[in-house]
Amino acid sequence: MLQSAPRLAPEVVRETLDAMYREESRRIFATLVRLLGDFDLAEEALHDGFRAALEQWPTQGVPDHPRAWLVSAGRFKAIDAIRRRARFQAWDDSADAVETAPDAAPAWDEEAEVLEDDRLRLIFTCCNPALAPDAQVALTLRAVCGLATEDIASAFLVSAPTIAQRIVRAKARIRDAGIPYQVPSAADLPERLDAVLRVIYLVFNEGYAASSGDTLTRADLCAEAIRLGRLLLDLLPEPEALGLLALMLLQESRRTARTSVSGDLVLLEAQDRGLWNREMIAEGAALVARAFAARRIGPYTLQAAIAAVHAEAADAATTDWAQIAGLYELLSRAEPSPVVALNRAVAIAMRDGPAVGLALIDGILATGELADYHLAHAARADLCRRLGRHAEARVAYERALALARLAPERKFLARRLAALPA
């Protein structure tokens, strides 16, 4: 029922609705997707619901359950529009059960319990393996996070029409393939959860270590990924969800120190640790401990544990490289890849000396798998520099510089190259 409140000023209602839109719109959208079975129809219904509230709440007051009212109003508007278009005769039967006006108190108390489940359903739908990876990322940022198409395009340095096309294709694929809007069964959950975690980490990684452009990091993308990680953990507290959120927090804690005032790259060993966010470090370390206590340790948890060792060291000199090398050994077994092998080689070089690490990196490069990966050549160049093998270091730095696309990394590599003895 509606509160017995006096007439409200339109500006007060607008402020209330603006706050609700920021805080609740994606929850409402997720429920409307479930009820209407269509992303575009749900988006239209979301805005229709808020528009109806803007018109009716000044005279009728704010309802006791405003989120449920907005869902009901949006749903009613959508079904009414479908009736007018007379496109889907099958909707008539279900529409008859809908109240004839949203200003009546909507009987949605039972739905309040499933609103958060709707957000989880939406995440799994957007990250369905049937969708292309780039479409999963774009649709998740649009549908779950509510980012504008232009903002997603700007973040990934592609055109807005390209992102819009990816989103349209993803929605069409969901519709045409009949992809169910549901949380996977217990049997399918591990595989499907991996896809969700991967999408979230792809978003974070693009913000933490941008693939190209003039800036090293994009704080907005990191923040969205962390927000998604928190949401997923609240809805599905699995060990690897703990590990992923821990990893993102521990990496994000160093963001301010990763570049100088002029935007130049600052390596981990040279960073001002006083700039690191200690609250994020404490939260991340606690999440790592919880994940390890679950005794189902996956790749994200191992990476988070490595980040925690770095974060908890008082300075670069006291970093426990033996522990880091051991964790990379575990990671290489859990999720073997050339990049993990490269990071393990760097850790071993810090533990056992540059000659040992260089031999490992040369073995990795000999396979050809990282021939076009600029960080592999940069790592080789640094070890050669430390060993006094300046001619080899020069060749490796030049190769890394030719492959690097990010402006701060290119400036850093150019400075290292110029500092080598002739």
Give one DSSP letter per residue of 83-140, joined into a string: HHHT--TTHHHHHTTS-S-TTS----GGGGGGHHHHHHHHHHHHT-TTS-HHHHHHHI
Please state the rounded mean pLDDT for residues 203-217. 67
Fold of 330-422: 1.25.40
- For residue 97, the model assigns a pLDDT of 40
**Average pLDDT for 290-308:** 94
Helix and strand element counts for the chain (H, E): 19, 0
pLDDT of residue 231: 87
Residue scoring higher pLDDT (98 or 401) = 401
pTM for this model (two decimals): 0.75
Per-chain mean pLDDT for the chain: 86
If you average pLDDT over residues 390-401, what whole number do you get? 97
Identify the pLDDT of residue 217: 61
For the record, the structure tokens of 347 come out as 């850790």
Mean pLDDT of the region 228-253:
93
In this predicted structure, what is the pLDDT of residue 384?
Answer: 97
Q: Would you put residue 263 in left (φ > 0), alpha (ψ -120 to 50) or beta? A: left
Q: What is the pLDDT of residue 116?
A: 57
Distance in angstroms (rounded) separating the CA atoms of residues 236 and 240 = 10
Cβ(275)–Cβ(257) below 8 Å: yes
Gap between the Cα atoms of 179 and 289, Å rounded: 36
pLDDT at residue 180 in the model: 86
> What is the pLDDT confidence band of residue 406, given thresholds at 50, 70 and 90?
confident
Q: Which of 46-60, 172-186, 278-292 has the highest mean pLDDT?
A: 278-292
- Name the least confident of 171-180, 256-265, 269-278: 256-265
Please report which confidence band the pLDDT of residue 83 belongs to, taking 50, 70 and 90 as the band edges: confident
Domain ranges of the chain: 10-107, 330-422
- Can you give the C-alpha Rg of the chain in angstroms? 26
pLDDT of 115 over the 60 cut: no
